[in-house]
Amino acid sequence: MSVSPLLHLIQHHPAEGPGEIALWAAARGVALQIYRADLGALPLASADPMILLGGPYAVHQPPPWLQREQAWLDSVLTQDAPVLAICMGAQLLATCLGAAVAPAAEKEGGWTPVQFAGGATMEVLQWHEDNFSLPSGAVLHAGSRACPHQYVTHGEKRIALQFHPEWNAQSVAELNAYFGAESPLPRLSKTNNDGLEPDTRRYRIVQDWLYQRLDNWRAHWT
């Protein structure tokens, strides 16, 4: 019986944790190890699967620790590691693949519709000011009006998502508590027993989509 490799998750900000990814990993029996890159922690570069989360930093004007992470990611990619990257993480991956990252003409925040190549649409949570260009050899699967590159793959093991499918209601509550009025994310209109916004339909649709993507991605490293 084969043993799944450890899944490494790179976090960049105290309020931006793994969210639904941690719940998916627990449900699938996947061992998840979290590293705080902004505090200087990164795993050894290897062929193990890696997930890169977002953060409120500019890849085109990176702080020193993010420059070190980019060099680390370059090494990871040379070892053909599976990489799934979200928001700022997607911009970092795109940069390592030779694409450009620059300020967007229009910011995106809150629930935003993205359109997939087949014509379907899905409302997703976003909060970003920069966009990445399409890396050479990448395939575009979804975009939005303000950001044409929302979901990109580069081969079968590299995925770049500009939106945040990992954010659930708890994630949004934590982000709103940390950033206050700066946050464009949905606020509580009414609460359930947990004090969370009962916007269950949209969260469930995105959760189902995320779990399917993670299951498909996992098939390439187990």
**Residue-range domains of the chain with CATH:** 7-218 (3.40.50.880)
**Which pLDDT score, from 0 to 100, does residue 147 have?**
96
Query: Tokens standing for 9?
Result: 């998750």
Whether 4 has a pLDDT exceeding 80, the answer reads no
The predicted pLDDT at position 193 comes to: 56
Catalytic position from the list 12, 149, 154, 164 = 164
Find the mean pLDDT for residues 19-41. 98
The whole-number pLDDT of residue 1 equals 42
The catalytically annotated residue of 87, 108, 147, 197 is 87
- 141 a catalytic residue: no
In this structure, what are the phi and psi dihedrals at residue 89, rounded to the nearest 5 degrees?
-60, -40
How far is 218 from 157, CA to CA, in rounded Å? 9
Mark whether 87 is an active-site residue: yes
pLDDT interval class at 3 (50, 70, 90): low
> Residues 141-165: pLDDT tens digits?
999 999 999 999 999 999 999 999 9
Of the residues 20, 69, 108, 166, only one is catalytic, namely 166
Degrees to nearest 5, angle at CA 67 with 160 and 126: 35
Is the CB of residue 70 less than 8 Å from the CB of residue 78?
no
| Pairing verdict, β 83-86 and 151-153 | unpaired
pLDDT tens per residue, range 49-75: 999 999 999 999 999 999 999 999 999
220 flagged as catalytic: no
